[in-house]
Amino acid sequence: VQQRSGLGSPARSRGRGSLGERGRGEVLAQVGCGIEGTAREGWLAATEVREDDKHGLVVELSAGTSRASVHAFGAHVTKYCVDDVDVLFLSKRAVLDRSKAIRGGIPVCWPQFGPHGPLNQHGFARTTVWTLRSREATTESAVCEFELHDTEESRKVWPYRFKVSLKVSLSNKALAIDWLVENASDAESFEMSGALHSYFAVNDIHKVSVGRFEPGSSFVDDLDNFTVKKNDQSTVSIDAEFDRVYLASSNQVDIVEDGVRTIHMQKSDSLPDAVVWNPWEHKAKGMSDFGDEEYKSMVCVEPALFHRVQLEPRASWRASVAISVR
């Protein structure tokens, strides 16, 4: 495996241990070995790029006791862990050779969420290779940014001009994503929906609750022919297949595992909805890239734009999500 800076030339791999030996406050800019970092009062923020024929380009981020991995395929965050404990779920059967969407982590669903539109399920962003535009390590965080532009191939299935960027920032015990969509046309508008299809790792789904929903609000029940229903609970527990879109939900969502931890999500107003999904036993057995028993150790809680919005020529849409553990 060769190490790359993303924009520089390949060089030999170099372990993170050598970075830890540097003095505090020293800025590391080792483009040749693919590692950039900044030491800060007892901990290190760093970025590292690796690339191989199977996985393509992957950016590794580290900050304090937190680690994250972002694949150029789909601009897909496949790992986020704190104190060596996974926050995100990645299936042991996930396909990582760029032949299909990755099962787990945070897939980018765009320009369509779900089957609700003319494109294939969840659009094409999650199955397209993005371009690494920048990466840096500051005294506060490790950051990388990917971009996706329309191409001749993309316009065959979706005939619009666009630019999408996704910036992933890792700080000590927190992960933030900034998402920007730009209509690159001078004349044509387009409609879009989307979501950050976040898979979270849990020890036992039976001990998990997902909450901060507003009683009296509405949700779409995907298991009942997309029927819109009234919500009467502030928190939900899962003991069977579950697939709901909570409309105009709170900007804060908590995933609480009894006696273990709370994962807190903060989402922007531009992602007004929250999807909660678990395939449960029967559907899990029908997915080739998902273990038969893995439904017990995950839950999807997805900040989403369920209803399509129209983006005018040269207009832009921004969204952000922050995930922390306490």
Catalytic residue positions, numbered: 197, 302
Residue of 39, 36, 38 whose CA lies nearest to 7? 36
Go through 102-128 and write b for each residue having 16 or more CB atoms within 10 A of its CB, e for each that does not.
Answer: bbbbbbbbbbbbbebbeeeebbbbbbb
* CB-CB neighbours of 58 under 10 Å: 21
Distance in angstroms (rounded) separating the CA atoms of residues 53 and 76: 17
Asked if 259 and 277 count as a contact pair (C-beta separation under 8 A), the reply is: no
Residue of 209, 207, 205, 208 whose CA lies nearest to 296? 205
Distance in angstroms (rounded) separating the CA atoms of residues 289 and 277: 16
Query: Using the 8-state DSSP alphabet, how is residue 296 labeled?
Result: G
Structure tokens at 126: 């999650």
Q: Where are the alpha helices (DSSP H) in the chain?
A: 17-20, 152-157, 280-285
Three-class SS state of 223: helix
